[in-house]
Amino acid sequence: MSEPARKKALITGITGQDGSYLTEFLLAKGYDVWGIIRRSSSFNTERIDHLYQDPHEQDIRLKLCYGDLGDASSINSLLKKIRPDEIYNLAAQSHVKVSFDIPEYTGDVTGLGCVRILEAMRDLDLDARFYQASSSELYGKVVETPQTETTPFYPRSPYAAAKAYAFYVTRNYRESYGMFAVNGILFNHESPRRGETFVTRKISRAAARIKVGMQDCLYLGNLSAKRDWGFAGDYVEAMWLMLQADKPDDYVVATGETYSVRDFCNYCFEDLDMPLTWRGEGVDEVGVDAAGREVVRVDPRYFRPAEVDLLLGDPTKARQELGWTPKVSTRELAAMMVRHDLDLAEQEVNRHDFIASRGD
């Protein structure tokens, strides 16, 4: 009796934080995983290099292929070739502040990229299940707290507006064409693999570098902005669970707790035995360590043109219908990230010391 065919999953944004954790998760579940990567002059696969399989070997379960969400023909060709059972659309220009600088590109990839996939699925009569990575930034200037699946959206950035388009077009294709297409409204989720320009990783990395003497000060924007921060490794399980459900629906994925940027700073610095005291207000607020050094300052250049002050998700529906709950707390997440960055900082110091010793 032959073995049942393995499920095939296609991931856009496979080289990102979420893509790497989702790839690990699906491979552990026995999937064959295909990932779309953009052609560039240099490789950007650090987050999945540990999963790499030599294409010359037998039984390869992770395959990378070139494509671009801005190019409908490449999407059509790949879906026709692979015919996946599940599609996870994680690709986006996902930096909120940057979306104000490149709004057209953000809209094209983050918004229209979604409909290009859905149209390709429809044209090919592809019986696949589709997951769209939605975002808590949809809620923007929140009209109720906590935010649920029925809370009205109020986008406050080009990124959020593009995500709103993708959300509604996913729902529209589900209702119009009977497609198994779902939105996961994921609140902020972080990890040691988070990009260094995102605020949590910026904080954990700076705290570690200040600890080892490689950096003097961390500059941030709105210290009072509050977010519902969870661990990306937990959240990819929720993505998968949505596509295993009996019927397609949209879900909030969150911890149900909110913390300020200032809180996250406190957790990271405290974990490195550098507790902070805060002085001043507004742009003059500073975080001071036990030695009296001002190690955190506010820089107005990091303020958003339209600020989102508070995001807090209610994951009740995901818990009740999918059986999903987060495992890592925000405090544990901060510790995980800052210890990872401390290891990196110490390696960098040792490397510099070694190079200096060779030059003597």
- Residue 68 shares a structural domain with residue 176: yes
Shared domain for 214 and 350, answered yes or no, is yes
Render pLDDT for 282-305 as a digit per residue (tens, 0 to 9): 999 999 999 999 999 999 999 888
Residues in a beta bridge with 184: 133, 251
Is 326 inside any structural domain?
A: no
Residues whose CB falls within 8 Å of the CB of residue 211, separated by 6 or more in sequence, listed in order: 272, 274, 342, 345
| pTM for the whole structure | 0.91
- H/E stretch holding 189 reads strand 189-190
Task: Indicate if the pLDDT at residue 160 is higher than 50.
Answer: yes
Lowest-confidence segment of 29-38, 47-56, 111-120, 346-355 by average pLDDT: 47-56
Considering the domain architecture, whether residues 215 and 353 belong to the same structural domain is answered as yes
CATH number at 287 reads: 3.90.25.10
279 burial (CB, 10 Å; 0-12 / 13-18 / 19+) is exposed
Question: Could you tell me the residue range of the domain that residue 348 belongs to?
Answer: 201-220+261-309+337-359
> pLDDT tens-digit profile of 59-85?
778 999 999 999 999 999 999 999 999
Range 174-179 average pLDDT: 98
Given this model, what pLDDT does residue 359 score? 62
Same domain, 19 and 114: yes
pLDDT at 46 (0 to 100) = 74
Retrieve residue 71's tokens.
Answer: 């190019």
| Cβ-contact 293, 197 below 8 angstroms | no
pLDDT at 55 over 80: no
At 192-208, the pLDDT tens digits run: 999 999 999 999 999 99
Looking at the structure of the chain, the number of domains it has is 2
Give the model's pLDDT for residue 145: 95
Question: What pLDDT sits at residue 94?
Answer: 78
Let me know if residue 236 belongs to a domain.
no
